């Protein structure tokens, strides 16, 4: 039964769409020939991917000596990029799981592409984990597999092993959640398919879905349980990533604020990346009626809230560094703000703490160009946050003779470019071959949230809404 | 559903109408086989008299299994097979194992739940769907009634469907 929605709520589907219009509008890009814009965008991302793949191959071939790391700064762009991508990979499951539990209807238009983005971002993150191992062909040593050394097992007390389990669980559960969400929509495409190839492929992956009431009832329960277990999972992943740092004894890392601070930062950067991609997708695929200003505004509100939490965390770190009375800790933070990497610190502060505060003005948070620009600014800031945490905490070692600076080589940069190539290539493939909006979910909330829904239907629904 | 069955399909174009129609048709003593919809309609399964799903129980069981498996693996490797002193702590360092135990629980719950869901609904890759109307996955809500399993005549059933607001009544 359709839920009652307050009439003062902004509409989430505009243009007076019927159910069939939803199917048609979303299936259009899957069924039609790729557009010229798509071909260009895909071509460019393939070139970026190819260049990045060369750099990554060279890194693997030569070893990580080709990076700009030195004896003092042993982690730099590799782990910065890893944490950055994992952070970005938090928004999708957060949108589909947490917002499902909170019954936020605006999630329905954006959860599909946000989840896809999550999966691709986690794959990008995984590429840095593999690369930073130095000998990626021995990556399976991080798993508790019986081996010829004893068996000598992995150390389950180590946060790095927790991370292996957290990331791989997160990736596989997110993939599963995303795929199960796709099944009803794949069946829609299957039933509309005209070519033999699409009948076969969409038929294969739609699992013989028919949409019977019994299946839907179970499906709803399944989605709810998956959302219920994905919610703590999302929070656990970045918590564990933060423990990679927090359980060490490096000043600037060894802080108890890290888990909530990292999780807030992850949601912050993830929503910003979703915003960037949605603003492009809605224009390229003409989805303005599904991804409305209301959606953009909601996203901006979440960005402002999480950005403010991150800002408070930055200030708390400083306060505690002073209040603890630990010299090393105090120095680490003064060095961040005023040392040789001051520009990275203030870049982070400006982009992450000050820029999202602009969204308090309604005219700014409903402006598409400004939202697009600020969403990129936020992710630049979040990259610098990780760079600041990692490099400035390491570069001043305990002995001044060990002090060092880090500067990236072309392979540091090239491997970062690889992850962009991978991310966008996968995203464009997704946008072409799979429905970018969850049709079934959008249809299920249309009554009440859609503009000019036929009057007859509203009457019918009031009849049954006791 | 095999093609030898004699089905009457009531086609509706609105979720609230089909939900209303279910109780209306049922009140006339007609047995409804199943209703097919493009998206979930809350309350439809109870209106049809379907039993509440036991999937949450299955999910809980898989979660327990995941928890036990994770603990068993960690205890076997860290306490029994090759104990090592790490940071001067006990071999049995339970607090350190909470993260992986949690991940194991979630992993088993998710995959166990989805597998159970697919088996209970007989869904698998490449299955040929039994499609009664191609518009079910688009914008139509279809009530399927098996004439052979009903005492009422086909004409009565068709009339009941029309009266309940069906925009089309088809035979398949």
Q: Residue A5 — very low, low, confident or very high, per pLDDT cuts 50/70/90?
A: low
Q: Residue A192 — very low, low, confident or very high, per pLDDT cuts 50/70/90?
A: confident
CB contact under 8 A, A216 and B41: yes
Q: Residue A116 — very low, low, confident or very high, per pLDDT cuts 50/70/90?
A: very high
Share of chain B above pLDDT 70, in %: 97
Q: By residue range, what is the domain housing residue A194? A: 19-136+155-459
Do A202 and A190 form a contact (C-beta atoms < 8 A)? Answer: yes
Residue A228 has a CB neighbour count (10 Å cut-off) of: 16
Query: Measured between alpha carbons, how far is A27 from A426 in angstroms, rounded to an integer?
Result: 19
Residue A457 has pLDDT above 80, yes or no: no
CA torsion sign for A198, A213, B9, B39 is negative
Nearest CA to CA, how far is B116 from chain A (Å)? 10
Of A45-54, A80-89, A444-453, the least confident: A444-453
- Which residue carries 């060095």 as its tokens? A335
ipTM over 0.95: no
pLDDT tens, position by position, for chain B (172 residues)?
445 568 888 888 888 888 888 888 888 888 888 889 988 888 888 888 888 889 999 999 999 999 999 999 999 999 999 998 888 888 998 999 999 999 999 999 999 999 999 999 889 998 888 888 888 888 888 888 888 887 778 888 888 888 888 888 888 7
Residue A1 has pLDDT above 70, yes or no: no
- Supply the Cα-derived Rg of chain B in whole angstroms: 25
Per-residue model confidence as pLDDT tens digits over A328-364: 999 999 999 999 999 999 999 999 999 999 999 999 9
Q: What are phi and psi of A403, to 5 degrees?
A: -65, 140
Nearest CA to CA, how far is B33 from chain A (Å)? 10
Collapsed DSSP state (helix, strand, coil) of residue B168: strand
**Mean pLDDT along residues A228-241:** 92
Collapsed DSSP state (helix, strand, coil) of residue B146: strand
Residue B73 with chain A: CB contacts under 8 Å: 144
pLDDT at position B107 is 95
DSSP B16-77: HHHHHHHHHHHHTTPPP-EEE-SS--TTHHHHHTPPPP-HHHHHHHHHHHHHHHHHHHHHII
Residue B82 with chain A: CB contacts under 8 Å: 150-153
Q: What residue in B sits closest to A447 (Cα-Cα)?
A: B15
Query: Measured between alpha carbons, how far is B74 from B80 in angstroms, rounded to an integer?
Result: 9
CB contact under 8 A, B127 and A183: no
Q: B 71-90 residues with CB below 8 A of A?
A: 73-74, 77-78, 81-82, 84, 86-87, 89
**Residue A145 included in any domain:** no
pLDDT at position A451 is 59
**Residue A65 included in any domain:** yes
**Residue A189 included in any domain:** yes
**Mean pLDDT along residues A402-422:** 93
Nearest CA to CA, how far is B10 from chain A (Å)? 14
Residue A147 has a CB neighbour count (10 Å cut-off) of: 12
- Identity of the residue in B16, B123, B135 whose CB atom sits nearest the CB atom of A461: B16
Element (H, E) at B141: strand B141-146
pLDDT at position A222 is 92
By the CB < 8 Å criterion, does B139 face chain A? yes
Query: Measured between alpha carbons, how far is B113 from B62 in angstroms, rounded to an integer?
Result: 7
- What's the length of chain B? 172
Give chain B's count of helices (H) and strands (E): 5, 4
Query: Measured between alpha carbons, how far is A161 from A157 in angstroms, rounded to an integer?
Result: 8
Query: Measured between alpha carbons, how far is A466 from A337 in angstroms, rounded to an integer?
Result: 61
Of A173-182, A280-289, B114-123, B146-155, the least confident: B146-155
Query: Measured between alpha carbons, how far is A64 from A132 in angstroms, rounded to an integer?
Result: 7
CA A166 to chain centre: 15
- Supply the Cα-derived Rg of chain A in whole angstroms: 24
Q: What is the DSSP letter of A247?
A: T
- Which residue carries 């359709």 as its tokens? A2
Do A45 and A425 form a contact (C-beta atoms < 8 A)? Answer: yes
- Angle, alpha carbons A115-A121-A124 (nearest 5°): 150
Query: Measured between alpha carbons, how far is B83 from B91 in angstroms, rounded to an integer?
Result: 6
Per-residue model confidence as pLDDT tens digits over A124-150: 999 999 999 888 899 999 999 998 888
Query: Measured between alpha carbons, how far is A8 from A449 in angstroms, rounded to an integer?
Result: 10
Collapsed DSSP state (helix, strand, coil) of residue A14: coil
Share of chain A above pLDDT 70, in %: 94
Collapsed DSSP state (helix, strand, coil) of residue B7: strand
Q: Which of A325, A313, A223 is nearest to A268 (CA)?
A: A313
Per-residue model confidence as pLDDT tens digits over A415-456: 999 999 999 999 999 988 999 888 888 888 887 666 555 444
CA distances to A352, A375, A408 from A305, rounded to whole Å, are: 11, 14, 33
Q: How many domains does chain A have?
A: 1
pLDDT at position A456 is 47
Q: What residue in B sits closest to A239 (Cα-Cα)?
A: B99
Give me chain A's average pLDDT, please: 88
CA torsion sign for B12, B16, B19, B22 is negative
CB contact under 8 A, A460 and B48: no
By the CB < 8 Å criterion, does B148 face chain A? no
**Residue A275 included in any domain:** yes
pLDDT at position A320 is 92
- To test the contact with chain B by mutation, choose from A161, A211, A249, A456 the residue with the greatest count of B C-beta atoms within 10 A, namely A211
So where are chain B's domains?
7-50+130-171, 55-120
Name residue B145's beta-bridge partners: B8
CA distances to A256, A294, A325, A400 from A322, rounded to whole Å, are: 15, 43, 6, 22
**Residue A168 included in any domain:** yes
By the CB < 8 Å criterion, does B134 face chain A? yes
Per-residue model confidence as pLDDT tens digits over A363-391: 998 999 999 999 999 999 999 999 999 99
CATH architecture of B7-50+130-171: 2-Layer Sandwich (3.30)
- Identity of the residue in B15, B114, B134 whose CB atom sits nearest the CB atom of A176: B114
Burial class (CB in 10 A: 0-12, 13-18, 19+), A420: middle
Q: What residue in B sits closest to A180 (Cα-Cα)?
A: B114
pLDDT at position B133 is 83
Nearest CA to CA, how far is A10 from chain B (Å)? 22
pLDDT at position A453 is 52
Query: Measured between alpha carbons, how far is A351 from A307 in angstroms, rounded to an integer?
Result: 9
Largest CA distance in chain B: 83
**Mean pLDDT along residues A281-309:** 89
Q: What is the DSSP letter of A72?
A: S
- Which residue carries 């840095």 as its tokens? A128
Question: What is the pTM (predicted TM-score) of this model?
Answer: 0.91
Per-residue model confidence as pLDDT tens digits over A86-113: 999 988 888 888 888 888 888 888 888 8
- Identity of the residue in A152, A190, A213 whose CB atom sits nearest the CB atom of B45: A213
Residue A463 has pLDDT above 70, yes or no: no
CB contact under 8 A, A213 and B107: no
By the CB < 8 Å criterion, does B20 face chain A? yes
pLDDT at position A283 is 85
pLDDT at position A465 is 45
CB contact under 8 A, A221 and B19: no
* Distant-in-sequence contacts of A325-334, Cβ < 8 A, 24+ apart: A326/A251, A328/A251, A328/A398, A329/A251, A329/A252, A329/A254, A331/A251, A331/A396, A332/A251, A332/A252, A332/A392, A332/A393, A332/A396, A333/A252
Give the count of Cβ contacts less than 8 A between chain A and B: 222
Beta strands in A383-449 (DSSP E): none
Residue B165 with chain A: CB contacts under 8 Å: 460
pLDDT at position A449 is 65
CB contact under 8 A, A440 and B40: yes
- To test the contact with chain B by mutation, choose from A93, A109, A156, A240 the residue with the greatest count of B C-beta atoms within 10 A, namely A156
Here the tokens at position B80 are 């029994």
Beta strands in A335-452 (DSSP E): none
Helix residue ranges, H only, A133-257: 159-192, 196-205, 213-246
- Identity of the residue in A2, A157, A220 whose CB atom sits nearest the CB atom of B93: A157
CB contact under 8 A, A226 and B42: no
Q: B 34-73 residues with CB below 8 A of A?
A: 34-45, 48, 50, 53, 55-56, 59, 63, 73
């Amino acid at each position: 039964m359709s839920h009652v929605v307050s009439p003062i709520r902004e509409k989430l589907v505009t243009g007076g769409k019927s159910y069939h219009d939803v199917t048609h509008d979303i299936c259009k890009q899957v069924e039609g020939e790729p557009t010229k814009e798509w071909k260009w965008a895909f071509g460019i991302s393939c070139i970026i991917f190819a260049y990045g793949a060369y750099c990554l191959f060279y890194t693997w071939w030569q070893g990580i000596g080709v990076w700009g790391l030195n004896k003092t700064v042993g982690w730099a762009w590799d782990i910065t990029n890893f944490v950055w991508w994992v952070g970005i990979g938090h928004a999708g499951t957060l949108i589909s799981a947490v917002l499902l539990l909170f019954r936020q209807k605006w999630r329905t238009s954006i959860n599909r592409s946000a989840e896809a983005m999550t999966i691709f971002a986690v794959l990008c993150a995984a590429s840095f984990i593999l690369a930073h191992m130095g000998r990626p062909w021995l990556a399976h040593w991080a798993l508790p597999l019986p081996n010829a050394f004893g068996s000598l097992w992995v150390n389950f007390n180590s946060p790095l092993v927790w991370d292996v389990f957290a990331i791989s669980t997160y990736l596989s559960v997110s993939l599963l959640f995303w795929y199960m969400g796709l099944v009803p929509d794949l069946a829609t495409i299957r039933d509309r398919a005209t070519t033999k190839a699409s009948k076969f492929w969409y038929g294969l992956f739609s699992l013989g879905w028919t949409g019977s009431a019994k299946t839907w009832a179970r499906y709803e329960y399944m989605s709810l349980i998956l959302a219920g277990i994905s919610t703590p999972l999302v929070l656990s992943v970045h918590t564990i990533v933060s423990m990679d740092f927090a359980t060490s004894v490096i000043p600037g890392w060894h802080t108890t604020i890290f888990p909530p601070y990292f999780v807030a930062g992850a949601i912050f950067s993830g929503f910003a990346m979703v915003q960037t991609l949605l603003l492009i997708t809605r224009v390229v695929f003409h989805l303005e009626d599904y991804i409305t200003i209301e959606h953009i505004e909601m996203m901006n509100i979440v960005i402002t809230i999480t950005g403010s939490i991150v800002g408070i965390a930055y200030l708390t770190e400083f306060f505690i560094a002073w209040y603890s009375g630990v010299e090393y800790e105090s120095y680490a933070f003064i060095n961040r703000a005023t040392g040789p990497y001051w520009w990275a610190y203030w870049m982070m502060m400006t982009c992450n703490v000050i820029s999202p505060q602009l969204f308090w003005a309604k005219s700014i948070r409903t402006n598409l160009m400004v939202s697009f620009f600020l969403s990129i600014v936020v992710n630049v800031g979040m990259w610098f946050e990780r760079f600041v945490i990692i490099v400035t905490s390491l570069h001043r070692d305990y002995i001044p003779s060990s002090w060092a600076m880090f500067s990236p080589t072309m392979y540091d940069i090239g491997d970062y470019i690889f992850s962009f190539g991978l991310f966008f290539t996968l995203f464009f493939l997704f946008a072409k071959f799979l429905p970018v909006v969850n049709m079934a979910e959008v249809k299920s909330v249309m009554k009440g949230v859609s503009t000019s829904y036929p009057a007859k239907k509203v009457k019918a629904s009031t009849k049954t809404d006791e | 559903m095999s093609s030898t069955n004699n089905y009457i399909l009531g086609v509706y174009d609105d979720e609230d109408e089909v939900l209303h129609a279910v109780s209306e048709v049922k009140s006339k003593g007609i047995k409804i086989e199943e209703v097919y919809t493009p998206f979930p309609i809350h309350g439809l399964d109870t209106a049809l008299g379907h039993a509440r799903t036991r999937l949450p129980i299955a999910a809980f069981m898989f979660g327990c299994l995941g928890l036990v498996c994770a603990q068993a693996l960690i205890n076997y490797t860290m306490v029994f097979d090759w104990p090592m002193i790490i940071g001067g702590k006990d071999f049995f360092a339970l607090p350190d194992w909470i993260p992986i135990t949690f991940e194991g629980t979630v992993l088993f719950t998710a995959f166990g739940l989805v597998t159970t869901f697919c088996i209970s609904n007989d869904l698998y890759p490449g299955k040929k769907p039994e499609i009664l109307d191609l518009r079910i996955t688009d914008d139509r809500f279809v009530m399927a009634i098996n004439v052979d399993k009903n005492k009422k005549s086909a004409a009565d059933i068709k009339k009941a469907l029309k009266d309940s607001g069906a925009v089309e009544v088809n035979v398949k």
